[in-house]
Amino acid sequence: MRTLLRMVYQGRTMSWLVVPALLLVLTGCQGPVTPNRDVLSAYPQIHLASYSLQRKIVLQEPVVSRVGDGQLDIVVPVRNLLNHSLYLEYQYRFLNQQGVQVEENSGWNTLRMPAYSMQQIHFTSFTSQADNFDLDIRRLR
């Protein structure tokens, strides 16, 4: 490093425009690389299709309960942060305790959200074998 800086100072091989870039590269290589974290949702069962959707809607904690003969009932409150209507699509699936899917995917459902409105995504399993769920949300284009 000292030899390289000495060569730059003496003007033998590098111009002064390259020095800041070189220093940025060298200082960026310190310590271990930390893995990316999924910051899209605070709830691990809910998956947003894009980072931009995170700035357009707010998800509240899912309300999970048992109904009927033990079917899993899910309500996910969603708020539109925009000053115009937003069209979303969502798809859900139910999982058992081991994380294995126990029912078919729901297919894509449409949710129209007026400006600054609060809506709920509500779905119920067909069987009592469901112990958890996954929910995918994307913007309808």
Instruction: Give the per-residue SS3 of 15-43.
Output: CCCHHHHHHHHHHCCCCCCCCCCCCCCCC
Please report, in angstroms and rounded to a whole number, the separation of the first and last CA atoms in the chain. Answer: 52
Co-location of 21 and 58 in the same domain: no
Residue 131 has pLDDT above 90, yes or no: yes
What CATH code is carried by the domain that includes residue 65? 2.60.40.3230
Residue 141 has pLDDT above 90, yes or no: no
Query: What is the overall mean pLDDT for the chain?
Result: 82
- pLDDT tens digits, residue range 73-98? 999 999 999 999 999 999 999 999 99
What does pTM read for this prediction? Answer: 0.69
Q: What is the pLDDT of residue 85?
A: 95
**Which residues face 64 on adjacent strands?**
74
Co-location of 18 and 66 in the same domain: no
Q: What confidence category does residue 3 fall into, taking pLDDT thresholds of 50, 70 and 90?
A: low
Query: 109: number of CA atoms within 13 Å, CB side?
Result: 13
Residue 13 has pLDDT above 60, yes or no: no
Residue 29 has pLDDT above 80, yes or no: no
Q: What is the pLDDT of residue 36?
A: 47
Among 55, 78, 86, 64, CA closest to 130: 64
Residue 16 has pLDDT above 70, yes or no: no
Co-location of 22 and 84 in the same domain: no
Per the structure, the count of domains in the chain is 2
Is 37 within the bounds of a domain?
no
Is 107 within the bounds of a domain?
yes
Residue 34 has pLDDT above 70, yes or no: no
User: Distance between CA atoms of 79 and 60, rounded to whole angstroms?
Assistant: 8
Mean pLDDT lowest among 27-36, 42-51, 87-96: 27-36
